[in-house]
Structure 1
Amino acid sequence: MGYADLHIHTVYSYDGTSSVEAVLKYVAEYTDLSVIAITDHDCITGALKAQDLAPAYGIEVVPGIEVSTAEGHVLALYIDRPIPPGLSLIETALRVGEQGGLCIAAHPMAAGTSSLDFQTICAALEHPEVRRILVGVERFNGGLVYTRRNPWVEAVASTLPLAQVGNSDAHVLRMIGQGATFFPGNTAAELRHALEHATTEVRKGHGLGGVEVLRDFIPRYILRKMGWVVHNSDPRAPLRLTRVSQALQNTTLGSMPGVRL
């Protein structure tokens, strides 16, 4: 039996604070997760990089995107090409399906961020093809301020004919695994089977409160804006606070000077 966290951000998100390598190292050394998904905002570059690097860290990565649909965010998983933002939930799901991917409704009804409401989710599920693709709902989100609304979301989400998923929505390393999904097996393929057959269960994290999470995130976010992110040059290297250029996606992070954390 395995655990997965299917909502993790890296520096390829505007609000991510850790490199792909740092996320992989943290997951391998500090969590019991066997599968993760990198889901940067409207960007698949980091996810594909993570998938290539993952074997060296002994974990499996599902490539994905947190897509900004016209009605709110949805996680697109098991894909290998970008999905354009701004489309309807139905059109987004259909495009994910064209790649053989799956969708999970991210942090539904969350205050302070672009989120799907349950009415929109239910309407999309009336489309027979979308019903095959939109297979899960994030019943527990261990992320920022919307953590406090999880009890109400859990009650409504549990009535939907969808796989029940827990994720961290991590933007700093310590958040990873603060929400997770329990599934039969320990591989990305077995996780997919569990999502499609709604045999997943939610694992809540240790209850990082909004103040505690913000205390971690805000300093890291400020450092990110100043050009510093958490990084390690290879699986054996320590995590370091590393200076990078603003052209982050095109920078070889391992060549930059760093300060050991």
Structure 2
Amino acid sequence: MGFADLHIHSTLSWDGTATISAILKYVVEKTDLNVIAITDHDEIIGALRAEQIAHHYGIEVIPGSEVSTAEGHLLALFIREKIPMGMSLVDTVRYVGKLGGLCIAAHPMAAGSPSLSADAIRNALRYPDVAQVLVGIESINGGLFHQGSNFLATALAMSLPVASVANSDSHILQTIGFGKTEFEGKTVLDLRRALEAHQTRPICIRHATPWLVIPSWLEFFVLKKFGWVRWNPHPLQPMRLGRAKLVI
């Protein structure tokens, strides 16, 4: 069996604090993940960079994005171009489908974050072509401080013909893998097959807490504003804190 975290933000998200190289270095050294997806807010550059250099680290990367639809956030996976913001959920899913991608509803019904409602997801899945692309619900989001919406999302996923997944929604290195999805196999292709067959298992390793996340996030968010980030010059070398391009 393999494990995946399909919701990770890099410094290419306005609120992300980890560079691509730092994420890859952390994943291979500190987690048991086989596959990750970089899903920056309405951006694809970091995900493409991660896919390009992932083989140096011995991990597989799915290029993706957390897309701002009119109804809430949506994870678009297996894409290689930027998805327009602000379209309806149905139109966004269809757009992703034309690119050969798949979609997962991100943190549905989560308070304090632009999230899809249960009705929006149900209504979208009534269209057969949409249901072929909107294949999953993030039933566990390890980055949420309040876990009530995870219970609601889990119940929703169980009531619909979708894959149930768990992700970290990480904006700092330390929370990567807090939520992970188990699937049969080890590769990106294996994971895609599992998502399309709705045969995945969400696993919660740990919940993010304000006292764990906020101090670390604030420290590196401020450093990022001054051009300082954690990055990794080479897979065999340690991470560094210094000035580097955000996409590195």
The TM-score bracket by the shorter chain reads: over 0.9
* Residue equivalent to 1:30: 30
Structure 1 position 148, deviation (Å): 4.9
**What are the within-5 Å matches in structure 2 for residues 239-258 of structure 1?**
239-244=239-244, 248-249=246-247
Percent sequence identity over aligned pairs = 52
> Larger relative CO (CA 8 A, sep 6+): 1 or 2?
2
Secondary structure in structure 2 of the residue aligned to 1:41: coil
* Residue equivalent to 2:131: 131
TM-score between the two structures when normalised by the length of structure 1:
0.91
CA contact (8 A) 2:18 2:173 kept: yes
CA contact (8 A) 2:229 2:241 kept: yes
* Residue equivalent to 1:68: 68
Letter in 2 for 1:164: S
Q: Give the aligned length.
A: 248
Aligned pair in 2 of structure 1 residues 132, 2: CA closer, same or farther (>3 Å)?
Answer: same
Letter in 2 for 1:222: V
Letter in 2 for 1:206: R
* Residue equivalent to 1:42: 42
Tell me the alpha carbon deviations over residues 186-218 of structure 1, each in whole angstroms, 9 at most, x when there is no partner: 000000000000110001022332332223222
Structure 1 position 221, deviation (Å): 1.7
CA distance in 2, matches of 1:175, 1:79: 24
Q: Over the residues paired in the alignment, what is the CA RMSD in angstroms?
A: 1.4
**Does the alignment pair 1:58 with 2:58?**
yes
CA distance in 2, matches of 1:207, 1:71: 26
**Does the alignment pair 1:106 with 2:95?**
no
List runs of 5+ in structure 1 lacking aligned partners: 254-261
CA contact (8 A) 1:106 1:116 kept: yes
CA distance in 2, matches of 1:207, 1:120: 26
CA contact (8 A) 2:231 2:244 kept: no
* Residue equivalent to 2:21: 21
CA contact (8 A) 2:107 2:149 kept: no
**What are the within-5 Å matches in structure 2 for residues 1-261 of structure 1?**
1-244=1-244, 248-249=246-247
CA distance in 2, matches of 1:59, 1:68: 28
* Residue equivalent to 1:259: none
Structure 1 position 112, deviation (Å): 1.2
CA distance in 1, matches of 2:76, 2:83: 8
CA contact (8 A) 2:4 2:33 kept: yes
Letter in 2 for 1:46: G
TM-score between the two structures when normalised by the length of structure 2:
0.96
Structure 1 position 117, deviation (Å): 0.6
Secondary structure in structure 1 of the residue aligned to 2:6: strand
CA distance in 1, matches of 2:7, 2:180: 9
